[in-house]
C-alpha cells in the first residue's frame, strides 16, 4: 500500500519530476561526452622490515625508540598506511612535479579572469600544484599484504606511467636517505652515551660493594636459610631449658615448704650452722642467757649480778651479730632471742642442702633460658632485616645488571650502526613498475557508469521533488482522505465527466447519471419518518462543483415525478442561469425585495423541475437571505414543491449557507479532491459545528478513478460501455490540467 501511495504521488507530479530526471540525466551525459579521456597507470611497492644485521633499533637502549624498522606505534595503525602518507607528502610531490615538468591547466574561470586583466585569453604556463597532483593519485593497500598500489590518471598514457614511476623512485630515494640519516644520528647518540654508561657501571659496582661491606653481607639467601635453621634449633633448646627451669622451680618450691624458709634464708642458715666462730659465739650467748635467767630467780632486777649478766649477754649478742654479718653479710639472718634459729638439726641440714642445690639448678636453668632467648631474638632481628637488605642488594644488583647490559648493547649497536651507515638499504622496493596503458582503453569517462549514476541521481531527485511538492500541496487528494477529513456520512461519489454540466440530462444512461440517482436515493433513505423537502447545497471553497451537483440532483429527483424547485441563492456569483441557458433579469433577490412575484420569476425547464435564478446582484446579499421574507419564501416553496434545492455560496466566500441551513431540513456538503485543501475544510467544518447545522451528509464530486487506489468505477465503465467511458477520459485530462496549474 505504501508503494501504491508513492506511485500516486508520482503520478500527480509527474511533469516536474520528469523535468528533474531529464535534467540530471542530461547533465551526466553532457559531462560524460565533453570530458577528455583519462588513462590510468599503476605501479606497486612492496614494504619490508630491515634485516637484523642492518637494524638500527635502539629499543634495548631507549624503550619505544625504533629507528629504521617498518612497524606501527598503535595497535590499529598499519605500517603500510603510514608509508602511504609519506608517498603522497608535499615534498615528494613537489619533486615529482619538477622532474616530470607537470604544468597547471587553467580552467575557464582563470581564462576569463586573465582576459579581463590583460585583454588576452592566454595564461602563462605555471607548474602544477601538489594539491592538484594529489587529487589525481590513488593509493590502494592490497588486503592481507604489504603491497601498496599507486595509480595516476592523465590524458597522456605515457605521462601517466612516467609520473607513477617517478613518484616511486622519489619515494625510494627519500626512504634510503632517511634511513642513512637515522643511522648517522644513531651513531652520534651511541658515541655520546658510551662514556656515560661506563661511568654508570662503575658507580653501580662501587655502591654494591659498599653495601655488602657495611651490612656484612656475603650471600643473603644462604644466610637467611641458615638463620632459619639456627632459630629453629634455638627454639628447641629454649623449650628444653624452660622445661628444666620448671622442674627446678617446682622442686625448690617443695623444699621451701618443708624447710619453712626461703632459699636465701636456707643458704644463710646453712652457712651460719657450719661456721665455728658463729656457733662458738652462739654457745657463749646461750650460756649467758641461761645464767641470767637463773640469777633472776635469786636476785632482783637492780642487783649488780643481774646487771653484770645483762651487760655480758649484750656483749655476746653484739659479738654474735658481728660474726653473723661476717658470714652472711648485712642481709643475713639476724640473731633473735636466744639464737636457737642459727642452729639446725641434721635432718634440717640435709633439707637445707637439697634446697640450696635445687636453687642452684633453678638459677642455672633460668640463666640458660635467658641466654637462649637473647640469642634467638638476635637471630630473629637479623632475619627480619634480611628482606630489606635483600631488596636493597637486588636493587643495586639490578642497576648494575642494567648498566652492564646497556653498555654491552651500546658496543654491539655501535658496530651495527657503523655497518648500516655504509650500506644503501631501504624499507621498500618496486615489484611492478607502471606501464603505459592502451590508448584505445581510457579509464574515464565511463559512459555506462556516468549515465547509470545520472539515472540513479535523477530518479532520486525526481522522487524527492515529488515528495516535496506533495508536502507543500495541502489539497485533499483522494476520496478516503476527504471522508476522513470531514467525517460526514458519505451520500454519493460523483466521477469527473468533463464539460457536460447537466450530465443527467445529456447522458441519462451513463454511470455519472447513475451516481446522481444514487445520491437522491441516499437522501431519501436518510429519514423514513420525516421526508426531506428543503436541502441547502454548499462547499468549502469555490470550484468544487456545488452548482453542478445541485442542478443534476434536481434533474435526478424530477425524473422520478417529484416536483422540484432549484433556487440559486448564490447572489455574488450566480451560475444556475448559465447552466440552464436562462436569463437572470428577475430572480430570488427581486422576489425578496418585492420587485417581482414568485410566479413570474420562476422558470420551468422540464416537467416537474422549476428554477428560480439569483436575480439582480444586491449590495448586501446576506441581509436579504437572513430576513423574515426569505424564511416565509422557504416555507412557501416547501408547501408548493416536493423538494426545494437551494444552491448557496461556498463557506470560504460567505456565511449564506449557515443562515439558509437554519431555514432548511439540512445541508448537503459538496467536496472535490484536488480542489479543497485541509485548512479550508477544517475551517468549514468548525463553522458548521459552531452554528449547530444539520449536516445531511457529504457528496464527493469530480473523482478521477485512475487517481484512486480502490475504485469501483472501473467496473462501472465496463458495465455501461462506451457512453460512460468517453466523458471520463475528458474528465481525467481536465483534472490533470488542474493539478498542473495548482
Model confidence at 741, in pLDDT bands (50, 70, 90)? very low
Other CB atoms within 10 Å distance of the CB of residue 141: 16
- Nearest Cα neighbor of 535 from 343, 125, 522 is 522
Distance from C-alpha of 136 to C-alpha of 126, rounded to nearest angstrom: 18
Collapsing DSSP to helix, strand or coil, 645 comes out as strand
Cβ-in-10-Å burial (0-12, 13-18, 19+) of 343 comes to middle
Predicted local confidence at residue 218, as pLDDT: 65
pLDDT for the residue numbered 649: 93
Most confident residue range from 36-50, 158-172, 232-246, 705-719: 158-172
pLDDT at site 337 = 38
The percentage of the chain sitting over the pLDDT mark of 90, rounded to a whole number, equals 19
Cα–Cα dist 367/480, whole Å? 118
Q: Are 562 and 533 in contact (CB under 8 A)?
A: no
What's the confidence (pLDDT) of residue 293?
83
Q: Are 64 and 469 in contact (CB under 8 A)?
A: no
Which of 278-287, 521-530, 677-686 has the largest mean confidence?
677-686
Phi-psi region of 54 (alpha: psi -120 to 50; beta: other; left: phi over 0): alpha
Residue 726: asked if its preceding bond is cis (omega within 30°), the reply is no
- Reported as type and span, the H/E element at residue 93 is helix 90-100
Does pLDDT of 475 surpass 80?
Answer: no
Confidence of residue 65 (pLDDT cuts 50, 70, 90): very low
Render 167-236 in DSSP notation, one character per residue: HHHHHHHHHHHHHHHHHHHHHHHHHHHHHHHHHHHHHHHHHHHHHHHHHT-S-HHHHHHHHHHHHHHHHH
Residue 228 has pLDDT above 90, yes or no: no
Q: How many CA atoms lie within 13 A of 584 on its CB side?
A: 22
Q: What is the pLDDT of residue 453?
A: 85
Please report the pLDDT score of residue 643 as a whole number.
94
In this structure, the number of other CB atoms found within 10 A of the CB of residue 580 comes to 20
pLDDT above 90 (res 609): yes
For residue 425, give Cα distances in angstroms to 167, 174, 422. Answer: 18, 11, 9
Residue 418 pLDDT > 50, yes or no? Answer: yes
What does the block give as the cell for 339? 639464737
pLDDT surpasses 80 at 390: no
Q: Which span out of 12-16, 63-67, 339-343, 540-544 was modeled with the highest average pLDDT?
A: 540-544
Q: Residue 659 corresponds to which cell in the numbers above?
A: 443562515
Whether the Cβ atoms of residue 264 and residue 252 lie closer than 8 Å to each other: no
Which 3 state secondary structure label does DSSP give 80? helix
Q: Report which secondary-structure segment, H or E, holds 304.
A: helix 304-328
Other beta carbons within 10 Å of 492: 22
Q: What is the pLDDT of residue 559?
A: 92
- The per-residue pLDDT for 266 is 64
What stretch of H or E contains 701? Answer: strand 695-703
Instruction: Give the three cell numbers for residue 322.
Output: 658481728
Please state whether 615 falls in left (phi above 0), alpha (psi between -120 and 50) or beta.
left
What's the pLDDT at 438?
Answer: 84
Distance in angstroms (rounded) separating the CA atoms of residues 287 and 339: 11
* Three-state SS at 306: helix
Q: Is 213 exposed, middle or buried (0-12, 13-18, 19+ CB in 10 A)?
A: exposed
For residue 51, pLDDT over 60 is answered with no
For residue 534, give the nearest of 646, 624, 655 by alpha carbon: 646
Classified as helix, coil or strand, 483 is helix
- 638: its cell numbers: 416547501
Residue 5 predicted with pLDDT over 70: no
Q: Measure the CA–CA gap between 187 and 203, rounded to whole angstroms.
A: 25
Q: Which residues contact 402 (CB under 8 A, 6 or more apart)?
A: none
Give the single-character DSSP code of 437.
Answer: P
Do the beta carbons of residue 592 and residue 544 sit within 8 Å?
no
Distance, in Å, from the CA atom of 402 to the CA atom of 61, rounded to the nearest integer, reads 10
What is the C-alpha to C-alpha distance for residues 234 and 229, in angstroms, rounded to an integer?
A: 9
- Alpha carbon separation from 612 to 155, 615, 684, 699 (Å, rounded): 84, 8, 26, 23
Is 343's pLDDT higher than 60? no
pLDDT higher than 70, residue 74: no
Q: Hey, which bits of 551-639 come out as E strands?
A: 564-568, 603-606, 609-612
Query: Could you please report the per-residue DSSP string of 57-75?
Result: --TTTSTT---S----SST
Residue 256: predicted pLDDT:
67
> Is the confidence at residue 478, as pLDDT, over 60?
yes
Confidence category of residue 6, pLDDT binned at 50, 70, 90: low
Taking each continuous run of H as one helix and of E as one strand, the counts in the chain are: 26, 14
Question: What pTM was estimated for this model as a whole?
Answer: 0.46
**Average pLDDT for the chain:** 78
Longest dimension (CA), the chain: 198
Q: Write out the three cell numbers for 537.
A: 447545497
Q: What is the 3-state secondary structure (H, E, C) of 149-164?
A: EEEEEECCHHHHHHHH
Lowest mean pLDDT among 27-31, 491-495, 645-649: 27-31
CA distance 495 to 717: 11
Task: Say if CB 567 and CB 547 are below 8 A apart.
Answer: no
Using alpha carbons only, give the angle 185, 193, 419 rounded to the nearest 5 degrees: 45
What ranges do the domains of the chain cover?
225-390, 476-735
Cell numbers that stand for 175 in this block? 626512504
pLDDT at 185: 83
Q: How far is CA 360 from CA 184, 237, 273, 369, 598, in A?
A: 87, 20, 19, 14, 162
What is the Cα–Cα distance from 263 to 271, expressed in whole angstroms? 12
DSSP 315-329: HHHHHHHHHHHHHH-
pLDDT tens per residue across span 305-339: 888 888 888 888 888 788 777 777 644 444 443 44
pLDDT at 425 over 50: yes
- Cα 595 from Cα 604, distance rounded (Å): 20
Q: Considering the domain 476-735 in this protein, what is its CATH number?
A: 3.40.50.300
Amino acid at each position: 500500500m505504501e508503494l501504491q501511495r508513492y506511485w500516486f504521488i508520482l503520478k500527480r507530479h509527474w511533469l516536474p519530476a520528469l523535468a528533474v530526471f531529464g535534467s540530471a540525466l542530461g547533465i551526466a551525459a553532457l559531462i560524460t561526452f565533453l570530458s577528455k579521456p583519462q588513462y590510468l597507470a599503476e605501479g606497486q611497492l612492496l614494504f619490508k622490515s630491515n634485516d637484523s644485521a642492518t637494524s638500527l633499533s635502539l629499543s634495548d637502549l631507549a624503550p619505544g625508540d625504533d629507528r629504521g624498522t617498518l612497524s606501527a606505534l598503535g595497535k590499529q595503525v598499519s605500517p603500510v598506511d603510514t608509508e602511504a602518507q609519506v608517498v603522497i607528502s608535499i615534498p615528494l610531490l613537489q619533486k615529482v612535479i619538477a622532474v616530470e615538468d607537470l604544468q597547471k591547466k587553467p580552467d575557464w574561470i582563470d581564462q576569463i579572469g586573465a582576459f579581463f586583466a590583460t585583454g588576452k585569453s592566454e595564461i602563462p604556463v605555471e607548474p602544477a600544484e601538489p594539491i592538484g597532483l594529489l587529487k589525481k593519485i590513488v593509493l590502494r593497500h592490497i588486503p592481507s599484504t604489504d603491497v601498496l598500489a599507486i595509480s595516476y590518471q592523465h590524458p597522456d598514457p605515457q605521462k601517466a606511467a612516467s609520473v607513477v614511476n617517478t613518484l616511486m623512485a622519489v619515494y625510494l630515494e627519500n626512504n634510503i636517505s632517511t634511513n642513512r640519516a637515522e643511522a648517522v644520528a644513531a651513531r652520534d647518540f651511541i658515541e655520546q652515551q658510551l662514556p656515560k654508561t661506563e661511568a654508570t657501571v662503575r658507580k653501580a659496582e662501587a655502591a654494591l660493594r659498599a653495601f655488602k661491606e657495611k651490612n656484612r653481607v656475603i650471600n643473603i639467601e644462604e644466610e637467611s636459610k641458615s638463620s632459619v635453621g639456627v632459630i629453629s634449633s634455638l627454639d628447641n633448646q629454649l623449650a628444653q631449658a624452660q622445661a628444666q627451669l620448671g622442674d627446678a622451680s617446682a622442686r625448690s618450691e617443695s623444699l621451701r615448704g618443708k624447710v619453712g624458709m626461703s632459699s636465701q634464708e636456707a643458704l644463710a642458715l646453712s652457712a651460719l650452722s657450719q661456721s665455728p666462730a658463729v656457733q662458738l659465739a652462739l654457745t657463749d650467748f646461750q650460756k649467758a642467757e641461761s645464767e641470767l635467767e637463773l640469777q633472776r630467780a635469786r636476785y632482783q632486777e637492780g642487783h649488780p649480778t643481774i646487771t653484770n649478766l645483762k651487760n655480758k649477754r649484750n656483749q655476746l649478742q653484739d659479738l654474735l651479730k658481728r660474726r653473723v654479718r661476717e658470714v652472711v653479710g648485712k642481709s643475713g639472718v639476724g640473731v633473735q632471742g636466744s639464737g636457737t634459729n642459727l642452729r639446725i638439726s641434721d635432718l634440717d641440714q640435709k633439707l637445707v642442702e637439697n634446697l640450696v642445690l635445687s636453687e642452684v639448678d633453678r638459677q642455672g636453668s633460668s640463666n640458660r633460658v635467658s641466654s637462649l632467648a637473647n640469642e634467638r631474638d638476635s637471630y630473629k632481628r637479623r632475619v627480619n632485616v634480611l628482606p630489606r637488605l635483600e631488596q636493597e642488594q637486588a636493587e643495586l644488583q639490578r642497576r648494575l645488571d642494567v648498566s652492564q647490559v646497556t653498555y654491552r648493547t651500546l658496543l654491539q649497536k655501535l658496530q651495527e650502526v657503523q655497518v648500516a651507515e655504509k650500506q644503501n638499504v631501504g624499507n621498500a622496493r618496486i615489484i611492478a613498475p607502471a606501464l603505459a596503458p592502451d590508448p584505445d582503453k581510457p579509464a574515464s569517462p565511463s559512459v555506462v557508469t556516468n549515465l547509470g549514476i545520472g539515472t540513479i541521481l535523477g530518479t532520486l531527485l525526481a522522487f524527492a521533488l515529488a515528495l516535496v511538492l506533495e508536502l507543500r500541496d495541502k489539497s485533499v487528494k483522494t476520496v478516503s482522505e476527504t471522508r476522513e477529513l470531514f467525517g460526514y456520512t458519505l451520500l454519493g461519489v460523483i466521477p469527473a465527466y468533463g464539460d457536460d454540466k447537466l450530465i443527467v440530462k445529456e447522458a441519462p444512461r451513463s454511470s455519472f447519471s447513475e451516481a446522481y440517482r444514487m445520491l437522491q436515493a441516499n437522501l431519501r433513505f436518510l429519514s423514513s419518518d420525516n421526508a426531506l423537502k428543503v436541502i441547502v447545497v454548499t462547499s468549502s471553497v469555490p470550484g468544487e462543483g456545488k452548482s453542478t451537483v445541485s442542478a443534476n440532483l434536481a434533474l435526478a429527483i424530477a425524473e422520478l415525478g417529484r416536483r422540484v424547485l432549484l433556487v440559486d441563492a448564490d447572489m455574488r456569483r450566480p451560475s444556475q442561469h448559465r447552466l440552464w441557458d436562462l436569463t437572470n433579469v428577475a430572480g430570488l433577490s427581486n422576489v425578496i425585495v418585492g420587485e417581482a412575484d414568485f410566479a413570474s420569476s420562476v422558470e420551468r425547464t422540464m416537467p416537474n423541475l422549476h428554477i428560480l435564478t439569483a436575480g439582480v446582484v444586491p449590495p448586501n446579499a446576506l441581509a436579504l437571505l437572513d430576513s423574515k421574507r426569505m424564511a416565509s419564501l422557504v416555507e412557501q416553496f416547501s408547501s408548493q414543491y416536493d423538494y426545494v434545492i437551494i444552491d448557496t455560496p461556498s463557506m470560504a466566500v460567505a456565511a449564506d449557507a449557515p443562515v439558509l441551513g437554519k431555514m432548511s431540513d439540512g445541508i448537503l456538503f459538496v467536496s472535490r479532491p484536488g480542489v479543497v485543501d485541509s485548512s479550508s475544510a477544517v475551517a468549514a467544518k468548525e463553522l458548521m459545528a459552531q452554528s449547530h447545522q444539520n449536516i445531511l451528509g457529504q457528496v464527493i464530486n469530480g473523482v478521477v478513478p485512475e487517481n484512486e487506489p480502490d475504485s469501483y468505477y472501473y467496473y462501472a465503465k465496463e458495465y455501461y460501455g462506451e457512453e460512460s467511458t468517453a466523458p471520463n477520459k475528458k474528465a481525467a485530462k481536465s483534472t490533470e490540467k488542474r493539478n498542473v496549474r495548482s
